[in-house]
Amino acid sequence: MKDVWFFLKLFKPHSLWLAGGIILSLLTALASIALLTLSGWFISASAIAGLAVLDGNVLAFNFMLPAAQIRALAITRTLGRYGERLVTHEATFRVLAGIRSWFFQQLIPLVPGRLPVMRSGDLLSRMTADIDALDALYLRLLAPAIVAVFGVTAVTLFLAYYAPVISLATGMMLIIASVFVPWVFNRLGRAGAEEIVVLAANFRIRQIDMIQGLADLIANQACGRFSGFLEQFSDVMINTQRQNNRLSAISLALTLLLSQTTLLLALALAALSFKEGLLSGSDLTLVVFCVIAAFELVMPLPQALQMLAKTQKAAQRIRQVTGMMPAICQPKQALALPSRYDLQLNDVSFRYPDQQDWAVKNISLTIPQGGKIAIVGANGSGKTTLLHLIMRYYDPGQGRVLLAGHDLRHLDADDLMTCFGVLSQRSQLFAASIKENLLIAKPDASATELDTAIKAAGLEKFISYLPEGLETWVGESGVKVSGGEARRIALARLYLKNAPVLILDEPTEGLDSDTERNVFKALADFARDKTVVMVTHREAGLGLVDAVYGMERGVLCKL
C-alpha cells in the first residue's frame, strides 16, 4: 500500500477539484436516496388520505409541499450527477496529467546509463497504461469510499429517528456489504488483478517489437509465427480477465443478495413496529424505501477493492522506474561553468555495471579549446563510451574527466550539457514540423537565427521546394524526409544550439558519399573555432580534425 499512498500525496495540488467531486457525489447519492424515500412516503400517504376520505373522514393533507420537494430532489439529483461526472473526471484528468509530468521529470536523470537498458515497449506501458490505472484510486476507490462512509452514517441516523431496531440491522448489513465483502474479494482477486497488469504490459511490448520489426518478419516469412504467439498470449489475457469478471459478477450478486436480505428483514421489523403502533403506514413505506435506496452507496465497493491490486501493481511498476538510482549524482554545491572548454582525461577507466571487462582502460587525453580530434576503431571498441564519459553520461570507475581543470563531478549536469552540441547517426527527429524539430535546440530562436542555421546546414533549397516550408510535417522519426535531409535537419539543430564543444558520433553513417561530403563541408565551416571530438570508423571527414586516435578494446593510442 505504500506505493498507493505515495501517489495519493501527488493528488494534493488538485485537492479542491477532488474535494468538489466528492461533495457532488455525496450530494447526488443523498438526493437519490431522499428522492426514493420521499416518493414512497408520498405515494403511501396520499393513498391513506384517499382511503380516509372514502370512509367519510376529513383528513388534512398537504399535497403541494412534498410534490415540490420531490421535484427539487429530482432536479438536484440530475444536476448533481452531471456536475459529479464533470468535476470528478476533470479532477482525474488533472491528476493523471500531473503524474505523467512528474514521471517524465523523474526519467530525465535516468537517461544516462539507466533508461537504455529498459525495453521501450515496457517503458511506454508504464508511462501510459500503468498511469491510466491510477485513475481508479480516486474514481473507483477514494471517492466511493468517502461517499459510502458519510452516506451510511446519514442513512443510519435517519432510520434511527423512525425505527432504531431497523436502523441497527440496516447499519450492520451495510457495514458487511461495504467492508467485509470488499475485503474478501480483494483477497480473492488480488492475484488475477496483478497478473492482468503484467500480462497487458508484456503484450504491448511484444506488439511494439512486432510492429518495429515488421519488415524483417515479412522478409523472413515469420509474421505467422509471431502472430500465433500473440494470439496465444491474448488467450491467456482473456482467460485471466474472464476470471476477474467472474469474481466481479459474484461480488455484485452477493451485494444484491445482502440488499434483498436487508429489505426482507426491514419489512419484517417494520411490520412488527406497525402492529405495535410504533410506525404509521406511511412511515413504514418511508423506512422500507430508504433501506432499498441505501445499498446504492456500497454497490461499487466490492469490485473496486477487488481491482485494487491492479492499481497497486501499476503504482509499483511506476515506482520501480522512478526509484532507480541515476548513473550520475548531482553535486550538493555545483561549481559555476568555467569560461574555457579545455577537455582532459586523466587515467580514465570505466566498465558497465553488468560487465567484468573494462570498456575503456587507462585513457589519458588532452584536448585544448578549439582542438579537433577523431577517434577511429571497430564497432564495440569503446569509442561511444568514451564520448559518454566526456559528456558525463557516466562517471569513470577510475581517473577523472576535467573541463578547464574542473572535475565534471563538481559541475551541474544540466549546465554541463549546454557546453555540448551532439550529432550522431541516431539524432532523433520527432513527429512534428521541421521548425519544431529545430526549435528543440533553442526554443526562443529568432527567424534570423533559424534562417542562418538552415543556410549553414544546406537546407535552404530543400525547404524552398516544400509547399508548407518550415511547417512541413516530418512524420514519425522523420519518415517523410530522406536520410540525408534528416541528417541536415539534425545538423541545423546543432548550428542553432551553437555549443562550444561538438560531439560527433558517426555523423554520416548510412549516408551516400555525396551527402557525406556535403555534411562534412558544412561542419568544417561551422566548427572552425570550436572543440571537436569525432568518433568514426570511416576515413571520410578526417580532414576536419587535427589529430587522429585509434581505439581497440578500450585502449586509446595516437595514430
Same domain membership, residue 310 and residue 223: yes
State the CB neighbour count (10 A cutoff) for residue 37.
24
Query: DSSP string spanning 299-363?
Result: TTHHHHHHTHHHHHHHHHHHHHHHTSPPSS---SSPBPPPS---EEEEEEEE--TT-SS-SEEEE
Report the CATH number at residue 42: 1.20.1560.10
Confidence at residue 23, expressed as pLDDT on a 0 to 100 scale: 94
- What pLDDT was estimated at residue 56? 52
The answer on 352 and 300 residing in a single domain is no
398 with 297, same domain: the answer is no
To which residue does cell 577511429 refer? Answer: 376
* Residue 199 and residue 232 in one domain: yes
Contact 282, 50 (CB under 8 A): no
pLDDT at 79: 93
pLDDT (tens place) for every residue of the chain, 559 residues total: 677 888 888 888 899 999 999 999 999 999 999 999 888 888 887 777 666 555 555 555 567 787 888 899 999 999 999 999 999 999 999 999 989 999 888 888 887 777 777 777 778 788 888 888 888 888 888 899 999 999 999 999 999 998 899 999 999 999 999 899 988 988 888 888 888 888 888 888 888 888 878 878 888 888 888 888 888 888 888 998 898 889 889 988 999 999 999 999 999 998 888 888 888 878 888 888 999 999 989 988 888 888 788 888 888 888 888 888 888 888 888 888 888 888 999 999 998 877 788 888 998 989 998 898 988 888 888 888 888 889 888 888 889 999 988 898 998 888 888 889 888 877 788 888 888 988 988 888 888 888 888 888 888 888 888 888 888 888 877 888 887 788 888 888 888 888 899 998 888 776 677 777 777 877 887 888 889 998 887 777 788 888 888 888 888 888 7
Tell me: do 536 and 436 sit in the same domain: yes
Co-location of 226 and 292 in the same domain: yes
**CB-based contact 258:181 (threshold 8 Å):** yes
What pLDDT, on a 0 to 100 scale, did the predictor assign at position 225? Answer: 82
Write down the pTM of the prediction.
Answer: 0.79
My answer on whether 199 and 234 are in the same domain is: yes
Q: Which domain holds residue 502?
A: 343-558
Report the number of distinct structural domains present in the chain.
2
Has residue 332 been placed in a domain?
Answer: no
Give the per-residue pLDDT at 192: 86
Residue 336, in any domain of the structure: no
Query: Is there a domain that residue 330 lies in?
Result: no
Q: Are residues 71 and 129 in the same domain?
A: yes
Same domain, 244 and 287: yes
Nearest Cα to Cα of residue 294 among 176, 139, 186, 182: 176
- CA 218, CA 212: separation in Å to the nearest integer? 12
CATH number, position 369: 3.40.50.300
- Residue at 486 is within a domain: yes
331 lies in some domain: no
Q: 230 and 376 share a domain?
A: no
Question: Residue 335: inside a domain, yes or no?
Answer: no
**Is the domain of 316 the same as that of 351?**
no
Residues 267 and 410 grouped into a single domain: no
* Dihedral sign, Cα of residue 359, residue 364, residue 368, residue 374: negative
